[in-house]
């Protein structure tokens, strides 16, 4: 992933956590917020559809594994990269 995009995600995430205003001309930040809200909504929908004993096809499990890995990678970067918190 491009370092500029990662820095933008990190800054937008920081502002969201602090409830800071994100300028309207910062379209990338708004896009990141929109995407994260969409991810959260869809994840909550999926959780609502699942039971403890729900069986999924292997391709669906693979997609969930990748999604969790991608989100974890971004989160870990934001938590551990000192420049992402400036």
Residue 49, class by beta-carbon neighbours within 10 Å (0-12 exposed, 13-18 middle, 19+ buried)? exposed
Q: Which residue range forms the structural domain that includes residue 25?
A: 3-85
Q: What is the pLDDT of residues 2-61, one digit of tens each?
A: 566 677 777 776 776 666 665 545 566 678 788 888 999 999 999 999 999 999 999 999
* Separation between Cα atoms, residue 77 and residue 81, nearest integer Å: 6
Total tally of structural domains belonging to the chain: 1
Q: Is the pTM of this model over 0.85?
A: no
């Amino acid at each position: 992933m491009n370092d500029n995009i990662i820095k933008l995600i990190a800054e937008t995430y920081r502002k969201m956590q602090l409830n800071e205003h994100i300028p309207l001309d910062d379209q990338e930040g708004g896009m990141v917020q929109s995407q994260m809200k969409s991810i959260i909504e869809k994840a909550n929908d999926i959780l609502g559809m699942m039971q403890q004993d729900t069986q999924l096809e292997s391709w669906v499990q693979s997609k969930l594994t990748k999604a969790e890995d991608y989100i974890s990678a971004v989160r870990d970067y934001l938590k551990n990269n000192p420049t992402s918190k400036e």
